[in-house]
Amino acid sequence: MNLYNLEKNNSIKYIKEKPFKLERDIQNVFENNLTTIMGLTLVKSEFSIKNKRIDTLAYDNQSNAFIIIEYKRSKNISVVDQGFTYLSLMLENKADFIVEYNETLKSTLKRTDVDWSQTRVIFVSTSFTENQKTATNFKDIAIELWEVKKYENNLISINPVKKSKSAESIKPITSSNTKLASVTKEIKVYTEEEHLENKPEEIKELYDAYKEAILNLTDDIDVRANKLYIAFRKEKNLSDIVILKKGLKIFINLTKGALDDPKGLMRDVSNTGHWGNGDYEVVVKDTKHLEYIMSLIKQTI
């Protein structure tokens, strides 16, 4: 991606890339801005366990799961092998991660509070090779790649590497390896297809209509399925959708009192247990209020 600066006379000036000098520089950027970039909470920098060092240990409060982040300037690494090593390390030493969380954040997290199936590893690098991208292009692999670049004028671009729509399952590949199979058995990467499974065609079409409308609100909205809902993210969750048998339950991620809803369409769930993020939800069975609901979701951007 080329970046340009728009000058006063409407001419453009190419902005040169200024590569990070050290891997630690990349790590500092992410750890100091982890909530803004990934919506995660920093638990520990340089976390050591069983003679291995994890660059950044983070926690995802939305999925209740630990996240391991590794930073790489070198392209000569096998992200899949290393990723599975870290996933296995965590699953075999859950108590150590709980203790670190509680001691560092002065909390009382219990092992049962954590959804270990949502654990994932994130690799951050200035670029990845095509082989690395291909090796992680599986819809159910708990490994993510994020590219970061630094430019003149202190500009930084950060982009997750998205999997292709035709990405297949990694399970047939890992089934022949006992260690890898044990990891994929415990860790679950959810997909949109699973949420839509066995749902009537009209509900699938309804979901597609709302999905397309949300994605058209602004650029770079990421669609991420987890156990309970499908999230639409841009730095944070904007809206979450739970697919029902006879409709969709849509959540808007704003706190009570922060949403301007003149029609009073949304229901206040601030004091009610619910799956999605935010204090507002609505159940829809058609597209009658689609445009109005989009105007409400846009308030989160």
Residue with tokens 């069983």: 50
Give the list of residues 6+ apart from residue 174 with CB closer than 8 angstroms, or none.
180, 181, 183, 184
The three-state secondary structure class of 101 is: helix
Mean pLDDT of all residues in 194-198: 93
Interval 121-155: pLDDT, tens: 999 999 999 999 998 988 888 999 999 999 998 89
| Length of the chain, in residues | 301
In b/e form, how buried is each residue of 154-183, taking b as 16+ CB within 10 angstroms? Answer: eeeeeebbebeeeeeebeeebeeeeebebb
Q: Which amino acid is at 26?
A: I
Interval 13-43: pLDDT, tens: 899 999 898 899 999 999 999 998 998 999 9
52 beta partners: 49
Mean pLDDT of all residues in 259-272: 93
CA distance linking residue 3 with residue 17, whole number of Å? 9
Mean pLDDT of all residues in 214-223: 92
- Global confidence as pTM: 0.82
CA distance linking residue 177 with residue 211, whole number of Å? 37
232 beta partners: 223, 239
The three-state secondary structure class of 52 is: strand
CA distance linking residue 251 with residue 229, whole number of Å? 10
